[in-house]
Structure 1
Amino acid sequence: MAIDDLVNQGKQFLEQNKDKIQEAVKSDKAEEVSDSVLGAAAEFVKKVAPESVHEHVDTARDAADKAIGNE
């Protein structure tokens, strides 16, 4: 199977299930999981990055959090 076939199958799956996918992304569980993952990722980056970028990390985390879940 060629990569183009896989991409086309993925596109078809997304198109056929877009309502269910959108519902799942906006669910309470997605909010809970995304808060946990995004918080952990942000804390990790803050540990290894200079303090001057911490504000940018928080801004990026908040933007991603608004796109996932129901808050």
Structure 2
Amino acid sequence: MGLLDSLKAKLGPAKDKASGLAQQHEDKIQHGLERAARTVDQRTKGKYSDRIQSGTGKAKEAVDRFAHRKDPGPDTGGTTTPPAGPPPAS
């Protein structure tokens, strides 16, 4: 067992616990992100509003993905795409 495998094995339970906490407190995290974005936008007097909104949106998506990473996605229905074969010979 290599060092990386050992680290993954030890960090797995912590990652699961963090995911559970993120799912449990997702609304508070989202509210905190909005509040921080609003404060930064006010302090910069709207100079970076578009970048702040973009970053906040990406952070919210990341929290959502992390909080719901155990939930089955919409495309886990049993149909799989077959692996691509070799390119046709010309």
- Please give the range of the TM-score, normalised by the shorter of the 2 chains: 0.5 to 0.7
Higher helix share: 1
Q: 1:16, CA displacement in angstroms?
A: 4.7
TM-score where L is the length of structure 2 = 0.51
Q: Provide structure 2 residue ranges, at least 5 long, that are not aligned to the other structure.
A: 1-6, 69-90
Q: Which has the higher contact order (CA 8 A, sep 6+)?
A: 1
Q: How many residues align?
A: 58
Q: 1:33, CA displacement in angstroms?
A: 1.0
Q: Provide structure 1 residue ranges, at least 5 long, that are not aligned to the other structure.
A: 1-10
TM-score where L is the length of structure 1 = 0.62
Highest CA radius of gyration, 1 or 2? 2
User: What's the C-alpha RMSD, in Å, of the aligned pairs?
Assistant: 2.5
Q: Return structure 1 stretches of 4+ with deviation > 4 angstroms.
A: none
Taking every aligned residue pair, what percent have the same amino acid on both sides? 17
